[in-house]
């Protein structure tokens, strides 16, 4: 029966991040710098709220868009943190993680043959959904601009078919953010164009050198903001995301969401409410530790002679593979893990513009980072 499977589904592949992780996860004594999973536990008060939800039998369907108390809390959170104003009644949807928010946004705004402009390298979670909608992903090479997406780079790719531009900042895999001026330039250029912006801001609470700014603060009427609690509150498994959009857009996305999952997990919604109200600054302690790790990893990689852009958000380094190593990114990562038992993600998992690089996640303890980087240093010494 496989010949009857949707051809668009048959042509997409499992994420390169997961593919490589699954290949090496069985190895003994493995140091894994692969998955973007915070190594901090979910805050205790948030876990207790989830337990209380179960004990109080809060286990039924909620409103399709999420409980009104959680939607109000989410709107209050982004207003206090980023100056964004959304109506909790009609302009926010609680989703099953940021991934579902991306999916339902694309399924609402895309159609056959339209184009979506994305920076490259980029997280691999967008392109498969775009292709399944019959739309066309258009990658823009940002490698020579310190991984920054600028309006001058975007302009040549705008066509009559352009439907959406993806702004995933802070970025996975590079950790780079855009400045206020860069965002405003993009907003000014797009304000008179019939083009959506999908702003994936899941790492918004993990910016290190400046406060996060959302492009929605300049161009709310065209922007769909994706956020959630996976990274800010170490709640990856709770699967709570948020989609913010003007009512005339959100009301259509809600229909797709309703037929997709009905509503987000009721128990996780109670925990999320606790996170956004009593744990508004829970990310600060984690961020402080990430800054220490960033400085340590940056210094170690630099001393190894590796070319690396210092990230200002998230918890990743996107590192250029030395020219002396005549291997593609996948074979390099395979050789590295076989020789050192250190796993990184090959750059080609992040589009063709990630080829020649590897991603290192520093969402792990300083002890683990030291052991893994010591092993990597020995590996790179033989190529220097």
Residues 28 and 83 grouped into a single domain: no
Domain limits for position 362: 2-42+282-381
Residues 329 and 192 grouped into a single domain: no
Assign 377 to helix, strand or coil. Answer: helix
Residues 102 and 223 grouped into a single domain: yes
Last residue of a domain, which of 277, 311, 333? 277
Predicted confidence (pLDDT) at residue 20 exceeds the cutoff of 80: no
Nearest Cα neighbor of 311 from 123, 153, 172, 166 is 172
Please spell the DSSP secondary structure of 72-110, one letter per residue: HHHHHHHHHHH-----TTTSEEEESHHHHHHHHHHHHH-
- Give the pLDDT confidence score for residue 13 in this predicted structure: 81
Query: Tens digits of per-residue pLDDT, 221-268?
Result: 999 999 999 999 999 999 999 999 999 999 999 999 999 999 999 999
Last residue of a domain, which of 215, 246, 277? 277
Q: HSE (CB half, 13 Å, CA atoms) of 328?
A: 7
Q: Which residue's structure tokens are 């039998």?
A: 57
Nearest Cα neighbor of 242 from 95, 106, 77, 107 is 95
Predicted confidence (pLDDT) at residue 24 exceeds the cutoff of 90: no
CATH number at residue 255: 3.40.640.10
Distance CA 151, CA 160 (A): 17
Mean pLDDT taken over the chain: 96
Distance CA 268, CA 86 (A): 22
Residues 106 and 238 grouped into a single domain: yes
Residues 174 and 303 grouped into a single domain: no
Residues 31 and 48 grouped into a single domain: no
Distance CA 170, CA 196 (A): 19
CATH number at residue 11: 3.90.1150.10
Please spell the DSSP secondary structure of 221-276, one letter per residue: GGEEEEEESTTTTT-GGG--EEEE--HHHHHHHHHHHHHHHSS--HHHHHHHHHHH
Residues 156 and 13 grouped into a single domain: no
Residues 138 and 218 grouped into a single domain: yes
Least confident of 26-30, 126-130, 160-164, 242-246: 26-30
Report yes or no: 166 and 195 within 8 Å, Cβ to Cβ. Answer: no
Predicted confidence (pLDDT) at residue 15 exceeds the cutoff of 80: no
Last residue of a domain, which of 224, 257, 277? 277
Instruction: Provide the pLDDT confidence category of residue 22 given band limits of 50, 70 and 90.
Output: confident
Report yes or no: 315 and 177 within 8 Å, Cβ to Cβ. Answer: no
Q: Parallel, antiparallel, or unpaired for β 136-141 and 115-120?
A: parallel
Query: Tens digits of per-residue pLDDT, 321-365?
Result: 999 999 999 999 999 999 999 999 999 999 999 999 999 999 999
Q: HSE (CB half, 13 Å, CA atoms) of 64?
A: 15
Residues 147 and 256 grouped into a single domain: yes
Instruction: Provide the pLDDT confidence category of residue 297 given band limits of 50, 70 and 90.
Output: very high
Assign 138 to helix, strand or coil. Answer: strand
Domain count, the chain: 2
Residues 168 and 302 grouped into a single domain: no
Q: Parallel, antiparallel, or unpaired for β 345-346 and 162-167?
A: unpaired
Distance CA 21, CA 349 (A): 12
Instruction: Provide the pLDDT confidence category of residue 19 given band limits of 50, 70 and 90.
Output: confident
Query: Tens digits of per-residue pLDDT, 298-328?
Result: 999 999 999 999 999 999 999 999 999 999 9
Distance CA 86, CA 264 (A): 20
Residues 239 and 341 grouped into a single domain: no
Cβ neighbours of 342 (radius 10 Å):
22
- Give the pLDDT confidence score for residue 23 in this predicted structure: 76
Angle CA 331–337–338, to nearest 5: 85
Residues 195 and 49 grouped into a single domain: yes
């Amino acid at each position: 029966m496989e010949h009857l499977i949707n051809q668009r589904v048959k042509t997409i592949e499992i994420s390169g991040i997961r593919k490589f992780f699954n290949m090496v996860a069985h190895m003994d004594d493995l140091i894994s710098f692969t998955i973007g999973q915070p190594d901090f536990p979910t805050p205790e008060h948030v876990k207790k709220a989830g337990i209380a939800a179960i004990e109080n039998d809060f286990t039924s369907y909620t409103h399709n868009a999420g409980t009104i108390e959680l939607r109000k809390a989410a709107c209050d959170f982004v207003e206090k943190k980023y100056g964004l104003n959304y109506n909790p009644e009609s302009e926010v949807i609680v989703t099953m993680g940021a991934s579902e928010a991306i999916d339902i946004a694309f399924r609402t705004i895309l159609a056959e043959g339209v184009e979506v402009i994305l920076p490259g390298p980029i997280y691999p979670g967008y392109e498969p959904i775009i292709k399944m909608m019959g739309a066309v992903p258009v990658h823009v090479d940002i490698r020579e601009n310190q991984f920054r997406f600028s309006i001058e780079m975007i302009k040549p790719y705008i066509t009559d078919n352009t439907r959406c531009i993806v702004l995933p900042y802070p970025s996975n895999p590079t950790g780079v953010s855009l400045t206020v001026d860069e965002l405003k330039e993009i907003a000014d250029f797009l304000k008179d164009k019939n083009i959506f912006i999908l702003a994936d801001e899941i790492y918004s609470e993990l910016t290190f050198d400046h406060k996060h700014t959302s492009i929605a603060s300049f161009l709310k009427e065209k922007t769909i903001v994706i956020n959630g609690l996976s990274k800010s509150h170490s709640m990856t498994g709770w699967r709570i995301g948020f989609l913010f959009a003007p009512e005339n857009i959100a009301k259509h996305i809600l229909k797709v969401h309703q037929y997709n999952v009905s509503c987000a997990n009721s128990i996780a919604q109670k925990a999320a409410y606790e996170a956004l109200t009593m744990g508004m600054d829970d990310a600060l302690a984690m961020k402080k530790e990430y800054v220490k790790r960033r400085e340590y990893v940056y210094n170690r990689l630099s001393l190894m002679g590796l070319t690396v852009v210092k990230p200002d958000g998230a918890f990743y380094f996107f590192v250029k593979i030395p020219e002396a190593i005549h291997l593609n990114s996948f074979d390099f990562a395979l050789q590295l893990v076989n020789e050192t038992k250190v796993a990184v993600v090959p750059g080609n998992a992040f589009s063709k513009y990630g080829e020649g690089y590897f991603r290192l996640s520093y969402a792990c303890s300083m002890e683990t980072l030291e052991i893994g980087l010591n092993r990597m240093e020995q590996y790179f010494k033989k190529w220097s």
